[in-house]
Amino acid sequence: MALRSLFKGLTLFQKTALVTIAVTFLLIFIGGLVRATGAGLGCPDWPKCFGLWIPPTNAADLPEAYDPEQFNVFKTWMEYVNRLVGVLVGFLILLTFVFSFRYVRRIPSVFIGASAALLLVLYQGWLGGQVVQSGLQSGMITIHMVIAVLILNVLVWTWFHSVKDRIRYSMSARGRRNLILTLVVLLIVIIVQVIFGSQVREALEMVKAAYPGLERSLWMERVGSIDMIHRSFSWLVLVFAVLFQYLALRHGSGTPLPLLAGLTMAATLLQMLLGAALVYLGIPPAAQVFHLWIAAFMTGVPFFALLIALRSRPGPAYRA
């Protein structure tokens, strides 16, 4: 079963869901860019920006109620674009939900998944306003990020269920069991690692607030033990990524699993390099952005692989 077979002759729902997944992934990248550049309060109010639906490009054009000293054209428009893409994701998820009605009777899980995504994006929109009103409270920013990753994976799950009938292959019962178990553990380890990473990020925010004059390159030294735990745990992620690669090559030949395993391995190694850059190169913003973005990618790819593995049948190796 080649990966391309999953993408042939897609229905309107399936195409819309794929576009929604891609734009959601883009939104996570833009959100990381907003956070790394400190543009989260580029718009001090919500849902408007400086009391306007379209912010100005010059402080002189601000409404009288706002202090021009608050205005930074780069940060304002960075946050504004983030909101626009968020609205686009909301509309795409609404379309995905509407188009999912055709599956209500035949594949109800598709409708359920689309409904869950819609509810989550509505909550995410409300939460975005709370994040701004809280003055970018660290814990709320982390929850905002977690919900974005959850929406991404709910969409992946929903799309997969709409094409699952195309997946027909089998592997030995033992190989299937080992592969599924490895993927479950890998996902758990990745989620725990993301939580540790969020705690490191929150600790960095606290250091930044407590020592406003401290050089950026010295922030990591004051984070504490959570950074060392986060770094050490990355090796556990690597171990299970390697095991996933081995099992996928041995038991998933002719399926998308080896490719997905390779992507997971590449992302894991890149994450470790970016983590090293954050520690030893003074926390460059670009490394922060990609470190966050790839973390979202690393939840989605093994999850997709797990869905494929669960769809396989135990028995003599068979490919279709």
Are 24 and 151 within one domain? yes
Do 151 and 176 sit in the same domain of this protein? Answer: no
Give pLDDT, residue 179: 94
Query: Residue 139: what pLDDT?
Result: 67
User: Within this chain, do residues 86 and 207 fall inside the same structural domain, yes or no?
Assistant: no
Domain boundary among 142, 166, 190: 166
Asked if pLDDT for residue 80 goes beyond 50, the answer is: yes
Tokens of 201: 């990020």
Where is average pLDDT lowest: 72-76, 125-129, 150-154? 125-129
pLDDT at 82 over 70: yes
Mean per-residue pLDDT, 7-26 = 90
Mean pLDDT computed over every residue of the chain: 85
Residues 162 and 172 in one domain: no
Domain final residue, candidates 136, 166, 196: 166
Q: Given a cut of 70, is residue 208 above it in pLDDT?
A: yes
Which one of 134-138, 194-198, 203-207 scores highest in mean pLDDT? Answer: 194-198
Residue 229: pLDDT band (50, 70, 90) is: confident
Instruction: State how many domains the chain has.
Output: 2
**pLDDT of 319 strictly over 60:** no
Cα(319)–Cα(312) distance, rounded to whole angstroms? 10
Name the β-bridge partners of 49. Answer: 52
Range of the domain at 143: 1-166
Render pLDDT for 269-289 as a digit per residue (tens, 0 to 9): 999 999 888 878 877 877 878
Query: Same structural domain for residues 237 and 306?
Result: yes
Beta bridge partners of 314: 171
Give the residue among 279, 273, 179, 248 at the shortest CA–CA distance from 3.
Answer: 248
Least confident of 17-31, 189-203, 267-281: 189-203
pLDDT score of 259: 92
Residue 168, C-beta contacts closer than 8 angstroms, at least 6 positions apart:
1, 318, 320
Q: Is 50 left (phi over 0), alpha (psi -120 to 50) or beta?
A: left
Contact 87, 121 (CB under 8 A): no
Q: What is the CA radius of gyration of the chain?
A: 22
Q: Name the amino acid, one letter, at 60.
A: A
Same domain, 172 and 161: no
> Which whole number is the average pLDDT over 106-117?
94
Q: Decide: 172 and 251 in contact? Cβ < 8 Å.
A: yes
**Which segment of 48-52, 64-68, 181-185 scores lowest on mean pLDDT?**
64-68
In this prediction the pTM is 0.84
| Strand ranges for the chain from DSSP E | 169-171, 313-314, 318-319
Distance CA 317, CA 320 (A): 10
Alpha-carbon distances of 256 from 1, 260, 286, rounded to whole Å:
7, 6, 31
The pLDDT-based confidence of 2 (bands split at 50, 70, 90) is low
Residues paired with 171 in a beta bridge: 314
